[in-house]
Amino acid sequence: MTISSYFLQFGELYRWLELAAKRGLTLTLFLIGASLTLETMRAVGVKPMVLGILLWVLISTMSLVAILWVG
Protein backbone atom coordinates (compact mmCIF):
# COMPACT_ATOMS: atom_id res chain seq x y z
CA MET A 1 0.00 0.00 0.00
CA THR A 2 2.84 2.35 0.79
CA ILE A 3 4.59 1.59 -2.49
CA SER A 4 1.38 2.14 -4.46
CA SER A 5 0.98 5.54 -2.75
CA TYR A 6 4.37 6.72 -4.00
CA PHE A 7 4.44 5.10 -7.45
CA LEU A 8 1.07 5.98 -8.92
CA GLN A 9 2.09 5.20 -12.50
CA PHE A 10 1.75 1.46 -11.78
CA GLY A 11 -1.91 1.72 -10.76
CA GLU A 12 -3.10 -0.94 -13.20
CA LEU A 13 -0.48 -3.40 -11.95
CA TYR A 14 -1.57 -2.80 -8.35
CA ARG A 15 -5.18 -3.54 -9.26
CA TRP A 16 -4.14 -6.85 -10.85
CA LEU A 17 -2.04 -7.74 -7.81
CA GLU A 18 -4.94 -6.92 -5.51
CA LEU A 19 -7.29 -9.10 -7.56
CA ALA A 20 -4.80 -11.99 -7.57
CA ALA A 21 -4.33 -11.68 -3.80
CA LYS A 22 -8.09 -11.71 -3.18
CA ARG A 23 -8.60 -14.74 -5.43
CA GLY A 24 -5.73 -16.59 -3.79
CA LEU A 25 -7.08 -15.84 -0.33
CA THR A 26 -10.56 -16.97 -1.35
CA LEU A 27 -9.19 -20.23 -2.73
CA THR A 28 -7.09 -20.83 0.36
CA LEU A 29 -10.00 -20.21 2.71
CA PHE A 30 -12.21 -22.51 0.63
CA LEU A 31 -9.66 -25.31 0.78
CA ILE A 32 -9.23 -24.86 4.52
CA GLY A 33 -12.99 -24.84 5.06
CA ALA A 34 -13.47 -27.92 2.91
CA SER A 35 -10.56 -29.69 4.67
CA LEU A 36 -8.94 -30.33 1.31
CA THR A 37 -5.24 -30.86 0.96
CA LEU A 38 -3.10 -31.13 -2.13
CA GLU A 39 -2.69 -34.86 -1.46
CA THR A 40 -6.47 -35.33 -1.26
CA MET A 41 -6.98 -33.49 -4.52
CA ARG A 42 -4.33 -35.63 -6.22
CA ALA A 43 -5.93 -38.81 -4.89
CA VAL A 44 -9.38 -37.84 -6.18
CA GLY A 45 -8.13 -36.84 -9.63
CA VAL A 46 -8.76 -34.08 -12.12
CA LYS A 47 -12.16 -35.14 -13.48
CA PRO A 48 -14.20 -34.54 -10.29
CA MET A 49 -12.49 -31.17 -9.81
CA VAL A 50 -13.30 -30.09 -13.38
CA LEU A 51 -16.91 -31.28 -13.00
CA GLY A 52 -17.24 -29.36 -9.73
CA ILE A 53 -15.87 -26.18 -11.31
CA LEU A 54 -18.20 -26.55 -14.29
CA LEU A 55 -21.17 -27.06 -11.97
CA TRP A 56 -20.16 -23.99 -9.97
CA VAL A 57 -19.92 -21.90 -13.16
CA LEU A 58 -23.30 -23.17 -14.38
CA ILE A 59 -25.06 -22.42 -11.08
CA SER A 60 -23.41 -18.99 -10.82
CA THR A 61 -24.42 -18.10 -14.37
CA MET A 62 -27.98 -19.28 -13.91
CA SER A 63 -28.23 -17.34 -10.64
CA LEU A 64 -26.99 -14.17 -12.33
CA VAL A 65 -29.47 -14.60 -15.19
CA ALA A 66 -32.31 -15.11 -12.70
CA ILE A 67 -31.28 -12.02 -10.73
CA LEU A 68 -31.02 -9.87 -13.84
CA TRP A 69 -34.28 -11.21 -15.24
CA VAL A 70 -36.28 -10.59 -12.06
CA GLY A 71 -34.55 -7.32 -11.19
Q: Are residues 22 and 5 in the same domain?
A: yes
Which range marks the domain in which residue 61 is found? 45-71
Q: Assess whether pLDDT exceeds 80 at residue 36.
A: no
Cα separation of 62 and 69, whole Å? Answer: 10
User: Quick one: 10 and 30 in the same domain?
Assistant: yes
pTM over 0.85: no
36 φ, ψ (degrees, to nearest 5): -95, 140
46: phi then psi, degrees, rounded to nearest 5: -80, -40
Q: How far is CA 53 from CA 47, 49, 60, in A?
A: 10, 6, 10
Residues 2 and 32 in one domain: yes
- Banded pLDDT at 49 (limits 50, 70, 90): confident
Number of domains in the chain: 2
- Rounded to an integer, what distance in angstroms lies between the CA atom of residue 38 and that of residue 46? 12
